[in-house]
Amino acid sequence: MATTAEWRWRPGQERVAHAILDAMLTSTRVLIEAYPGIGKTRAALWACSASDTDAIILVRTRNEASVYVSEARKMSLVVIPLLARYGFCPVFRHVPRSIFYDLCRRIRSSNICNYYNNTVWRLFRSETIELVLDMASKCSSIEEIAERLVENNRCPFTASLMASKCAKFVVATYPYYLDESIRETVFSEIARERFTIFDEVHTLFTEYISRFRFLDLGEALATLRTAYRALRKVAKRNPDQFEYVLNMVARGIEAAKLLMDRDRRRKRRVSLYDAASEVEEALSEVLDASISFTHGGFLAVPAKLEVPETFAGMSAYIPKTLAKLGLSARTVEVPPPQPLVKARIVSGVTTRYRDMDEEMETRIGRELESILRTCERPTLVVFPSKRVAEEIARRIELDLLRFAAWRGDPSLEDPIHVDVAGGRLAEGVNVPYRAIIVVGLPYPSPSPAMKAVISRLGFEAAEDVMKIRLLQALGRGTRAGARAWILDERAHNLELPSWIEVEE
């Protein structure tokens, strides 16, 4: 078991570790709301090492998976990363995700993927597992592990899957849990008898609702065409296996064209219902969702969440809607010893849709400008959307558009960083910001997909999305004890966590 001798617990970190350990030992569920920067990775790894339970840790990004692998090494643990099929596959490097899995499955079952064969042939199996274990204890990122496996002619995904089955601790990204087809074939196999740790558990909620999609007719047609082209390429090698699906997608393309051309549809005496059903069927073949024709387009609703019997979930904010997805559990709150961010809510301004007119944009612009002139650098400015950013930037003297176009790595040479809520800077980049300005509460736009989410989960789902985005942005300020401004009077009604001190 790893000891704590090499590091000092941060305030509250030990409580997080013990809450996870307790859930592991008693086979129960726990949700832990802990302030940003508390050190959840180490707390989770400590709990893993202290219990005798096999565990799978789910993280948001590949970077976070790499952090678990390298932190584990410092604690004399080996955590095997489950490498994605998509993105690490040496065969289909530029194929769209929507059809990649189908293509991979088909060439595997036809025995024509040499990377796969070299990995699973009996002679090479134990050598492959040794290779993965060796890489996990040496490489500094999961990309490096994947590269080394490809150099050794192994399929990175299959090799890591084989090693994961015998490893005590495994780290994987959320799609393994959320994607129904992957979960059935992969996750359920390695997660059997394992305790599940959801790192940044709010991701489960945001990722799940992001899978509600609305495709207008043009998008549906484009999706089917892309799928058809990619399938036809592979079908050349194996025509029999693809005949059925190629025909179905071709019929879907024809039906989508008829849906777009009412006169032609009438001339061919095809009903709207029949054409829509053909497209629904074809799309269901290439997307992992149930498809229904509605409002002149196709709504793709994700498969239902499978909830594990026992788990621990950690986040700076536990969305209320998680319980509606079946993830109800005992909650443990771990506040910091003192507030980490001081925030001021600016009254008289809001980005509420019905109040946004020229006058409001000018008012917000003036407030933003006066804060930017005096606040410390580096500064992060977060807008609810690119459209709002551009509207407001037009109304102030500072050349904010220049910053809005910023795309590079964050550096202190460019001390004002601008992003939209939920963007890369606003969520996960570790810059020691001294000031955070959130322009407007970042509610999700009322798209058809969001309306479907609200009709199924209630308006609380939209509130949760907004709050997650807001807290993620403010959480960027915890490293340097930043000052924050929220330019939206609606924030007065929000219940904010104790790591944010609201100044009157």
Residues that bind ligand SF4 (CB under 6 A): 85, 89-92, 104, 107-108, 113, 115-116, 155, 157-158
Closest CA to 400 of 417, 387, 384: 417
| HEC secondary structure over 212-233 | CEEEEHHHHHHHHHHHHHHHHH
Nearer CB in complex with ligand SF4: 157/443: 157
Nearer CB in complex with ligand SF4: 24/182: 182
Classify burial at 473, counting beta carbons within 10 Å of its beta carbon; exposed 0-12, middle 13-18, buried 19 or more.
Answer: buried
Nearer CB in complex with ligand SF4: 111/493: 111
Least distance between ligand SF4 and beta carbon 108 (Å): 5
Least distance between ligand SF4 and beta carbon 112 (Å): 9
Nearer CB in complex with ligand SF4: 92/433: 92
Nearer CB in complex with ligand SF4: 115/298: 115
Distances (CA, A) of 382 to 336, 368, 484, 498: 24, 11, 11, 21
| Residue 202: partners with Cβ closer than 8 Å, 6 or more residues away | 315, 316, 317, 318, 319, 322, 464, 468
Instruction: Answer yes or no: are the C-beta atoms of 272 and 281 closer than 8 Å.
Output: no
Least distance between ligand SF4 and beta carbon 92 (Å): 6
Q: What is the side-by-side strand order in the sheet with 55-59? A: 79-81, 169-173, 55-59, 195-198, 311-315, 29-34, 330-334
**Prior bond to 378 cis, omega within 30?**
yes
Least distance between ligand SF4 and beta carbon 219 (Å): 26
First-to-last alpha carbon distance for the chain, in angstroms, is 48
Nearer CB in complex with ligand SF4: 56/234: 234
Least distance between ligand SF4 and beta carbon 107 (Å): 5
| HEC secondary structure over 110-162 | CCCCHHHHHHHCHHHHHHHHHHHHHHHCCCCCHHHHHHHHHHCCCCHHHHHHH
Least distance between ligand SF4 and beta carbon 237 (Å): 12
Nearer CB in complex with ligand SF4: 107/502: 107
Nearer CB in complex with ligand SF4: 108/324: 108
Q: What is the side-by-side strand order in the sheet with 213-216? A: 213-216, 297-301, 290-294
Nearer CB in complex with ligand SF4: 93/407: 93
Least distance between ligand SF4 and beta carbon 115 (Å): 4
HSE at residue 362, side-chain half, CA atoms within 13 A, is 3
88 CB neighbour count, 10 Å cutoff: 20
Closest CA to 52 of 168, 147, 130: 168
Nearer CB in complex with ligand SF4: 189/355: 189
Least distance between ligand SF4 and beta carbon 151 (Å): 13
Q: For strand 297-301 and strand 290-294, is the pairing parallel, antiparallel, or unpaired?
A: antiparallel
| Burial per residue of 427-465, b for 16 or more beta-carbon CB atoms within 10 angstroms, e otherwise | beeebebbbbbbbbbbbbeeebbbebbbeebeeebbbbb
Least distance between ligand SF4 and beta carbon 95 (Å): 10
Q: Rounded to the nearest 5 degrees, what angle is found at the Cα of 492, between the Cα atoms of 486 and 496?
A: 75
Count each helix (H run) and each strand (E run) in the chain, helices first.
Answer: 22, 16
Nearer CB in complex with ligand SF4: 155/332: 155
| The residue count for the chain | 504
Least distance between ligand SF4 and beta carbon 84 (Å): 9
Least distance between ligand SF4 and beta carbon 121 (Å): 13
Residue 183 DSSP class: I
Nearer CB in complex with ligand SF4: 90/410: 90
Nearer CB in complex with ligand SF4: 3/109: 109
Least distance between ligand SF4 and beta carbon 251 (Å): 27
HSE at residue 18, side-chain half, CA atoms within 13 A, is 9
Least distance between ligand SF4 and beta carbon 207 (Å): 22
Instruction: Answer yes or no: are the C-beta atoms of 261 and 218 closer than 8 Å.
Output: no
